[in-house]
Structure 1
Amino acid sequence: MNKVILMGRLTRDPEVRYSAGDNSMAIARYTLAVDRRFRRDGADQQSADFIGCVAFGRSAEFAEKYLRQGTKIVVTGRIQTGSYTNRDGQKVYTTDVVVEDQEFAESKAASADSGMPRYSQPSPMAAASMPSPSQASAGDGFMNIPDGIDEELPFN
């Protein structure tokens, strides 16, 4: 099985090209900076891996339209290896993730604040969904729903 799931930030805007011919197809290339789980010995900063990704067709058009440098995304795909001979006659080996699916990993507002670490405070969505201490029931972790609210729910 060849399946890859990555979450990281784009190091720069995607580079998009279109294939030649009657049925031209978009091809987008971008690099994700994916944080490593653990720090290297003696390193003060968290290190990252820089992983090349390539998207085709609609996925490439999506990348061209919506993805920008610093955007945090989740990519699902497969690893593909290859090789070519460069202009100097040397054989170059490549490893890319062929994108099958890509999704935003944070809101647009959170993406604008990407320069600041977000570990110390919950995201606005998470904070809004957390019940206040007065709403939480004693011990089971669920919010108390008042009687008679059934008519206000948008679904039944």
Structure 2
Amino acid sequence: MSNAISINNTVLMGRLTRDPELRYVSGDIPVCFFKLAVARQTSGEEKTDFIPCVAWREKAKFVSQWFSKGTLAVVIGQVTSRIWADDQGSNHIAFEILCDQIQFGETKRQRLDRESADKQGDAARGSLQILALDAETGMLLSGAAYDLYRADGTPVQRNMAGTDSGAHIVGLPAGEYTITEVAVPAHYAPAARSVTASIRPGEDCVIKIPHTTQAAPPAAEPAPAAAYSIPEGISDDDTDSPI
């Protein structure tokens, strides 16, 4: 037996990047997965790492019941690794923190104040949905893409791809925006001009952009038959025999 000392103990404090995910394995054993956004200093700049964590049994139930996206958490645990091979035979390795202890990193009052501020911030923003439609049938079209600009011309998002449910962007500050189509649904003519959208707090602004089918190019006229003359002494019959 080796006498070397081995230590595997990690302490992290960060906010959950999303709501924890609770599952049950082997029928009734709870396991909870979540990620912590943890800040660190590198060359005088702050960087953020997103650390996957896993909790089992009672700790899993505790995290699932009391923690949510944005909660500041303190985790004490061990670094574990998993190795697996994909369908092509390539090996992959993943690291995660096996939680031994989990506790809140903020008081209940701090958490409630933060959640209230988050809700107020969300209420001050709106969302935008852009739908490309067939001008005659009203059918939703896919394949369109758009650039979105603020009223002063500052780009917000470029090349927003539209699907059958349209292009959708959330969390926009209230104000005026300009939509410019940069890709057109197949077999349709491009939109005639840019469109203005007014975003209001807490509302979903829906912009419908009609498209007409693109006329097929006119068929090319057949080239005229080449004119020719029969040389003297040649008869225009099947044998073309000399006279």
Q: Does TM, normalized by the shorter one, top 0.5? A: yes
**Residues 1:17 and 2:18 aligned together:** no
Structure 1 unaligned regions, length at least 5: 117-156
SS at 1:60 equivalent: helix
Higher share of residues assigned strand = 2
In the aligned structure 2, how far is the partner of 1:55 from the partner of 1:91?
A: 25
2:74 aligned residue: 74
Q: TM-score when scaled to structure 2?
A: 0.42
Runs of 4+ with >3 A deviation: none
Q: TM-score when scaled to structure 1?
A: 0.64
In the aligned structure 2, how far is the partner of 1:87 from the partner of 1:12?
A: 29
In the aligned structure 1, how far is the partner of 2:22 from the partner of 2:89?
A: 27
C-alpha RMSD over aligned residues = 2.0
In the aligned structure 2, how far is the partner of 1:29 from the partner of 1:63?
A: 9
Whether contact under 8 Å (1:8, 1:34) holds in the other structure is yes
Letter of the structure 2 residue corresponding to residue 105 of structure 1: G
**How many residues align structurally?**
110
SS at 2:109 equivalent: helix
1:94 aligned residue: 94
In the aligned structure 2, how far is the partner of 1:73 from the partner of 1:88?
A: 38
* Identity score, percent: 32
Task: For residue 87 of structure 1, report the CA deviation from its aligned partner.
Answer: 3.9
Larger radius of gyration: 2
In the aligned structure 2, how far is the partner of 1:35 from the partner of 1:92?
A: 26
Question: Equivalences for 1:33-48 in 2 at 5 Å?
Answer: 33-36=37-40, 38-40=41-43, 46-48=46-48
1:113 aligned residue: 114
Task: For residue 88 of structure 1, report the CA deviation from its aligned partner.
Answer: 4.3
1:127 aligned residue: none
Letter of the structure 2 residue corresponding to residue 57 of structure 1: R
Task: For residue 109 of structure 1, report the CA deviation from its aligned partner.
Answer: 3.0
Whether contact under 8 Å (1:18, 1:25) holds in the other structure is yes
Structure 2 unaligned regions, length at least 5: 1-6, 119-243
1:136 aligned residue: none
SS at 1:63 equivalent: helix
